[in-house]
Amino acid sequence: MSKKTTGLDFLQATKHENQPASDQKKGLEQPPLQVPYEESDGPIIKLKGIRQIKTDNVSLREAIEERKTVRMYENKPISLDELAYALFMTQGVKRNVRDKATFRTVPSAGARHAFETILLINNVEGLKRGLYRYLALEHKLQKLEAAPDINQKIRRAALKQPQIEEAGVVFLWVAEPYRMTYRYSERGYRYLFLDAGHVAQNLYLAAQDFSAGVCAIAAYDDERMNTLLGLDGEHQFVIYLASLGKV
């Protein structure tokens, strides 16, 4: 008989029959679709609309057949249009339903889409190095305040993996668990990790449309990474990373 573990405890506790009534069933107000922001929080950069961006138009079959993890990149910048394309393909909003739900380019349990995208910029045309936030509802970027050596600090928090600084950009997906558990109670935590996989796979496939490579990253110091991004590790926490660079 296998020894009981934390993982098995989690699976047991999040079975449907063990779930309390969700806050949605209790009639409580749902959380916002996006973490609120102020324009005074940092400069806003408007991104080009997806229909205006030209790519290599790699076929879906070719993209899937050729998909692989890439950890070494050429010293070439990602263009702002390429970054806009990658952002839309991973969290782009196709339709906002009365500010109650969004339909996006990736699937999400109950259309909850409980992620915020933070970007560590190393080499992107027109952008200074540092941290940015993707405002998915508006398809814009916002520059965030960060330490001058934030790139090196995030690399150290990612167990010193070299691709963190060698990539043109690193995607840091931040989970907002209540956006999911509001509807699904504790079982929602399962869906967060499933959704993270959907998002990362879209980045892998989209990258091949502009001669780039991706490395999904799950090895990092949770507490250190959350602290660097100003997250409390409970109501917001880093759930997945991915480096993106030219190949």
Measured distance CA(209)–CA(14) in Å, rounded: 38
| Average pLDDT score over residue span 193-220 | 98
List pLDDT tens digits, range 35-78. 999 999 999 999 999 999 999 999 999 999 999 999 999 999 99
Q: What per-residue confidence (pLDDT) applies to 82?
A: 98
What residue ranges in the chain does DSSP mark as E strands? 44-46, 93-97, 101-104, 115-121, 130-135, 140-143, 169-175, 212-217, 237-246
pLDDT over 70 (residue 107): yes
Q: What per-residue confidence (pLDDT) applies to 4?
A: 77
pLDDT over 70 (residue 1): no
Domain ranges of the chain: 68-246
Q: Helix, strand or coil for residue 74?
A: coil
Contact status, residue 108 vs residue 91, Cβ threshold 8 Å = no
**3: confidence class by pLDDT, cuts 50, 70, 90:** confident
pTM confidence score? 0.96
Measured distance CA(163)–CA(170) in Å, rounded: 9
Q: β-pairing, 237-246 with 212-217?
A: antiparallel
CA angle 207-118-66, nearest 5°?
15
Instruction: Return the CATH architecture of domain 68-246.
Output: 3-Layer(aba) Sandwich (3.40)
pLDDT over 70 (residue 90): yes
**2: confidence class by pLDDT, cuts 50, 70, 90:** low
List pLDDT tens digits, range 127-178. 999 999 999 999 999 999 999 999 999 999 999 999 999 999 999 999 999 9
- Number of separate helices (H) and strands (E) present in the chain: 8, 9
Please tell me what DSSP assigns to residue 187: G
Sign of the CA dihedral with 216 first, then 150, 121, and 161 last: negative
